[in-house]
Amino acid sequence: MIPSPSADVPLLQARGLCFARNDEPVFGPLDFALVQGEALLVLGGNGAGKTTLLRVLAGLLAADAGDVRLRGQVVDRDHLARGSAYLGHLPGHKAELTTLENLEFARALAGAPGQLDLEQALADVGLAGYEDTPARRLSAGQNKRLGLARLRLQSAPLWLLDEPYANLDLDGIALVNRLIQAHLAGGGAVLLTTHGAYAAPPVPVRTLELRAARRPA
Ligand SMILES: Nc1ncnc2c1ncn2[C@@H]1O[C@H](COP(=O)(O)OP(=O)(O)OP(=O)(O)O)[C@@H](O)[C@H]1O
């Protein structure tokens, strides 16, 4: 079971977290914590390990050392996957399904209430009129918007957003900021990555800077 809420323990805490590939360190050891209503911005250049860190926190990759706690309890990868909502570089939509069908699928996976208005969810991310468009025909920015709509169907308090501003126009950047703000105001927490300074979260954030641990041969 995912641990239940408690105001005075961090929503997410990493201690001594390390990841290596073929014995080459990618990041770590990292120590950080994130409380409800807080955003943590993970900074670092290309290859610094930002995506890898988010994939570890989302339960998609196993850390080599250290532990991750949700609400104070050490959790395994299954719990991490269930306790977080991950928006990665690759949107992971079903290419042949329409945008609306993708949301229906995501809603079923998330066990979200059936009465949620998915057409409204599409409209909220600027995809009104694209209900019957297969995901494979979306642009990169539209794909990101569909990913943002899917994110909102999940009830996980921890959002892990990998380069959420990438591929978005100014209106899309403002949309990401509105969603982050609403999620934080609702008691959630957000960990997001960026290697650019072209957009930033709408709230004061703490930062975690990663540096590439490995040098090319
Ligand atoms: N699937 C993989 N197999 C092997 N090495 C990988 C793989 N994915 C990433 N790496 C390596 O791991 C390191 C960290 O990559 P990662 O994608 O986490 O960096 P990043 O900070 O997200 O970079 P970017 O800003 O370019 O997206 C890099 O050296 C990269 O070459």
Tokens 């014995």 identify what position? 23
Ligand 1 atom with the shortest distance to the CA of 163: 27
Which backbone phi and psi does 113 adopt, to 5 degrees? -55, 135
- Answer positive or negative: Cα dihedral of 162, 11, 150, 77: positive
Q: What is the pLDDT of residues 9-35, one digit of tens each?
A: 999 999 999 999 998 999 999 999 999
Find the 118 Cα to ligand 1 centroid distance in Å: 34
Q: Which atom of ligand 1 is nearest to the CA of 195?
A: 25
Q: What is the pLDDT of residue 143?
A: 95
Q: Along the chain (217 residues), what's the average pLDDT of each consecutive run of 10 residues?
A: 62 96 93 95 91 96 96 95 91 92 92 82 97 96 96 92 93 94 94 77 84 60
Q: Which of 17, 22, 26 to mutate to test the pocket of ligand 1 (most atoms within 8 A of CB)?
A: 26
Q: Is the sign of the CA dihedral 122, 127, 129, 130 positive or negative?
A: negative
Q: How remote is the CA of residue 21 from the centroid of ligand 1, in Å? A: 10
**For ligand 1, atom 3: residue with the closest CA:** 21
- Token digits for 59? 């339960």
What pLDDT digit, counting tens, does each position of 194-211 carry?
876 667 777 778 889 997
Per-residue pLDDT at 211 = 79
pLDDT of residue 81: 93
Ligand 1 pocket residues where CB is under 6 Å: 21, 26, 44, 46-52, 195, 214
Q: Identify residue 152 by its one-letter amino acid code.
A: R
Ligand 1, atom 30, residue with closest C-alpha: 47
Read off the pTM.
0.92
**pLDDT at residue 113 in the model:** 72
Helix count (H) and strand count (E) of the chain?
A: 6, 9
Please give the order of strands across the beta sheet that includes 206-209. Answer: 84-87, 158-161, 189-194, 39-43, 206-209
Does ipTM surpass 0.85 in this model?
yes
pLDDT given for residue 196 in this prediction: 66
In the chain the domains, ranked by start, together with CATH numbers, are 12-95+156-209 (3.40.50.300)
- DSSP 3-state of 119: helix
